Amino acid sequence: MGGERKLAELEAVGSIPTGDAIVKLFLAKMMIDLTTPVAAVSRVGKTTASRLKRLGIETVSDLIFYYPFRWQDFSQISDISELQPIDAATVKVKIQIISNRRSPAKRKMLTEALVADQTGSIKVIWFNQPFLTKILQPGDEVYLSGKVDFDRYNLQLVNPVYEKVSADTTHTARLVPVYSVTNNLTQKQIRFLVKSVLPLATLIADWLPPEISQENNLVNLNLALNQIHFPKDKKILDLAINRLKFDELFLFQLSVLASKLDIALSQSEAIDFFESQTKNFVASLPFTLTNDQRKVAWQIVSDLQKNQPMNRLLQGDVGSGKTVVAAIAMFNVALNKKQAVLMAPTEILASQHYQNLLNLFKDSNLNIALFTRSQRQVNGRVETKKKILSDLSSGDIQLVIGTHALIQQDVEFSNLVLAIVDEQHRFGVNQRKILRQNSGDKKITPHLLSMTATPIPRSLALTLYGDLDLSIIREMPKSRKKIITKVVDPKNRKQAYEFVRNQVKTGRQVFVICPLIDLSDKLGVKAVTDEFEKLKKEIFPDLRIEMLHGKLKPADKERIMANFLAKKSDILVATSVVEVGVDIPNASVMVIEGAERFGLAQLHQFRGRVGRSIYQSYCFLFTESQTEKTKARLNALVTAKDGFELAELDLQFRGPGEIYGTIQSGFPEFKIAQLIDYDIIIKAKLAAEKVLALGLDKYPLLKQKMEQTNKAVHLE
């Protein structure tokens, strides 16, 4: 730790050789290439290496492909005399005086400096970085980039980033990359590491066919990789972003088209439609199907009757009732004495689907299994893995519900004919291939149904997922009441809590969702624990509160969800793990903390966790942010009529190029491309068609890249 801190300090002021020099040295000794573990390059030790690993960075190449998610514009150098209160300014100054003192009130260490340029001088203050007085000395020329604010009557620079003046700066006086980092890794460290390996990007062959690059005005890969991290200016940054988005979308389109071709050439089992049994089943449900549910169920059973594999995307807003549609398809498969699998993204969802289906099929004599990493059951009884595997391969089990564990393990089916994937954008070509190999008869490809609540506009969906047929449920069950949504100002918090207490008194239950406090808190442990403590100790000491976050063992998660479902707890404090699919009909209030930190589509998903029964339900959006933009954005949740409208508003509020990241983009499979990149999507599609028409064999580099990408997807 001490050693690392020291390195960070040294590197921060450029007093050790920077990137280029180190790389040249290593390269000369033939010590590093793209696959070299990152620790060997940076020499920063095991701790940093393991922190990097948490970000998915293990090799030099991973580091190069770890794109920033935004850039801070420190490129304008201001004169001190011109400074105004502003979030980000950069000055080029000479240090006059610098010293440490302890703040009287809070016992914080303060470092104060007076700095000057030709136009004037200004005070600088840093908190808790006493080592600065060793690094920065009177007479040093530095860039300082940071916030300008009033200290009583005079302006001062607060906690600026500092860097010695040079022609090639890293942290100041330029567009500075900002990365997502985990706890204890600093932006400076990542920038330093990236910069030191970036020269190696030249070793990465540009796999894009030159004619495709030319036609689409794309910069070459090496340039794009260099400029995405350390852009010379905004214009070239846009070119780099454009190229790297194209890469993702192009590869994606290639795999979509390949899968389309693959499907056209493959055979599936035709599943007879058992009309009267299906009618009886539908009649046995505690509700009547909506017209849309009927329509899409019909589309699906019609597909199943063909020898051509179905490849259908079922879109429907949260709560629109997709599960029962899936059940109708599975029911017919079972009546045909064949097997079906339903896959969910989380254990919680898988086990909920399993419980649901057990319930829906309680009058049939089907064998229904649950298979996840930690849970194996058949018809409500715990079973061994061995027994389930053997009953799957003999065909004794007709329906199996699970997570990805189902395809990661060597599960053999007797006659798998239908695979249903819930709440996932896209089921990879490879995963389908795996199921095919496992389906007993090697020549048979299972029918595939993907279900999602993410509302992608139809035209976009068709362009993007050109290999899919689309079914949409737009109509909500009639019994559903509109959820009353309120954006709650801090001053009304107390009132909202009173309301919550009253709801609990009448027997209802409440969700409280917390945003991640920082990126290091990926599993939400801190966010959830803090909120839990607060509610438990200060707000609702008399209520039964439980918490749910990503660090808990699957068995504990199950227990907590089961308790909540069984009304053994009143309030569930959770991270976004409850986002998709979870069904607690008795819950009537959804409280969302830090609502401004979530995308509209995501908030809509949270809200969909309540209002699933006859009870009037409520969604409270707590926010500390008072900006007009936040208010307008959150108000869209009050006014928009459905998830489709929200998805489009979400994109408008964000605007192109504002921010990207996997959570925000609406594309879990992309690092940088977004739904809004419609132009690039179309260009990438045309390019992919062209390349495939000529044959991939003509492009060995591209072929290799595709194989790598597919492998990576498969390993997830």
Output the CA–CA distances (angstroms, integers) from residue 200 to 30, 399, 408, 464, 712, in the order listed.
12, 50, 34, 33, 22
Which one, 4 or 422, has the nearer CB to ligand ADP?
A: 422
Buried b (16+ CB within 10 A) or exposed e, 552-569: bebeebbebbeebbeeeb
Please tell me whether residue 316 binds Mg ion under the rule CB under 5 A: no
> Which of the choices Mg ion, ligand ADP, none does residue 319 contact, using the CB cut-off of 5 to 8 A by kind?
ligand ADP
Q: How far is the CB of 445 from ligand ADP (least distance, A)?
A: 26
Q: How far is the CB of 342 from Mg ion (least distance, A)?
A: 11
Which one, 341 or 684, has the nearer CB to ligand ADP?
A: 341
Task: List residues near ligand ADP by CB under 6 A.
Answer: 287, 289-290, 293, 316, 318-324, 453, 477, 479, 581, 583, 585, 612
H/E element holding 212? helix 210-215
Among 656, 671, 652, residue whose Cα is nearest residue 228: 671
Q: How far is the CB of 596 from ligand ADP (least distance, A)?
A: 25
Bridge partners, residue 402, by sequence: 343, 371
8 A C-beta contact, residue 126 and residue 147: no
Q: Where would I find the beta strands (DSSP E) of 531-679?
A: 545-548, 571-574, 587-592, 618-622
> Which of the choices ligand ADP, Mg ion, none does residue 380 contact, using the CB cut-off of 5 to 8 A by kind?
none
Please tell me whether residue 581 binds Mg ion under the rule CB under 5 A: yes
> Position of tokens 């930690």?
374
Output the CA–CA distances (angstroms, integers) from residue 552 to 236, 524, 591, 716, in the order listed.
44, 10, 22, 20
**Which of the stretches 77-85, 147-155, 578-586, 680-688 binds Mg ion when contact is defined by CB under 5 A?**
578-586
For residue 672, the Cα-to-chain-centroid distance in whole angstroms is 11
Which one, 402 or 581, has the nearer CB to Mg ion?
A: 581
8 A C-beta contact, residue 72 and residue 147: no
Neighbouring residues of 294: CB distance < 8 A, sequence distance ≥ 6:
none
Please tell me whether residue 319 binds Mg ion under the rule CB under 5 A: no
How far is it, in rounded angstroms, from Cα 227 to Cα 666? Answer: 25
Per the structure block, which two tokens stand in for 502?
């009253």
Which one, 581 or 643, has the nearer CB to Mg ion?
A: 581
Dihedral pair phi/psi, residue 618, rounded to 5° = -135, 145
How far is it, in rounded angstroms, from Cα 442 to Cα 436? Answer: 6
> Which of the choices Mg ion, ligand ADP, none does residue 324 contact, using the CB cut-off of 5 to 8 A by kind?
ligand ADP
Please tell me whether residue 68 binds Mg ion under the rule CB under 5 A: no
Which one, 231 or 581, has the nearer CB to ligand ADP?
A: 581
Which one, 420 or 681, has the nearer CB to Mg ion?
A: 420
> Position of tokens 């003192």?
101
Q: How far is the CB of 454 from ligand ADP (least distance, A)?
A: 11
Q: How far is the CB of 480 from ligand ADP (least distance, A)?
A: 7
Q: How far is the CB of 344 from Mg ion (least distance, A)?
A: 8
Angle at 200 between CA 194 and CA 206, to 5 degrees: 110
Q: How far is the CB of 474 from ligand ADP (least distance, A)?
A: 12
Q: How far is the CB of 418 from ligand ADP (least distance, A)?
A: 17
Q: How far is the CB of 408 from ligand ADP (least distance, A)?
A: 24
Which one, 594 or 611, has the nearer CB to ligand ADP?
A: 611
> Which of the choices Mg ion, ligand ADP, none does residue 477 contact, using the CB cut-off of 5 to 8 A by kind?
ligand ADP
How far is it, in rounded angstroms, from Cα 436 to Cα 446? Answer: 6
Which one, 324 or 562, has the nearer CB to ligand ADP?
A: 324
Look at phi and psi of residue 50 and say left if phi exceeds 0, alpha if psi is from -120 to 50, else beta: alpha
Please tell me whether residue 455 binds Mg ion under the rule CB under 5 A: no
Q: How far is the CB of 235 from ligand ADP (least distance, A)?
A: 44
Per the structure block, which two tokens stand in for 552?
């808990």
> Which of the choices Mg ion, ligand ADP, none does residue 583 contact, using the CB cut-off of 5 to 8 A by kind?
ligand ADP
Q: How many helices (H) and strands (E) does the chain have?
A: 27, 23
Please tell me whether residue 160 binds Mg ion under the rule CB under 5 A: no
Q: How far is the CB of 325 from ligand ADP (least distance, A)?
A: 8
Which one, 32 or 453, has the nearer CB to ligand ADP?
A: 453
How far is it, in rounded angstroms, from Cα 42 to Cα 8? Answer: 11
Please tell me whether residue 321 binds Mg ion under the rule CB under 5 A: no
Which one, 315 or 485, has the nearer CB to Mg ion?
A: 315
Please tell me whether residue 19 binds Mg ion under the rule CB under 5 A: no
Which one, 70 or 425, has the nearer CB to Mg ion?
A: 425
DSSP 290: P
DSSP 596: G
> Which of the choices ligand ADP, Mg ion, none does residue 383 contact, using the CB cut-off of 5 to 8 A by kind?
none
The residue with its CB nearest to ligand ADP is: 321
Q: Which residues bind Mg ion (CB under 5 A)?
A: 581
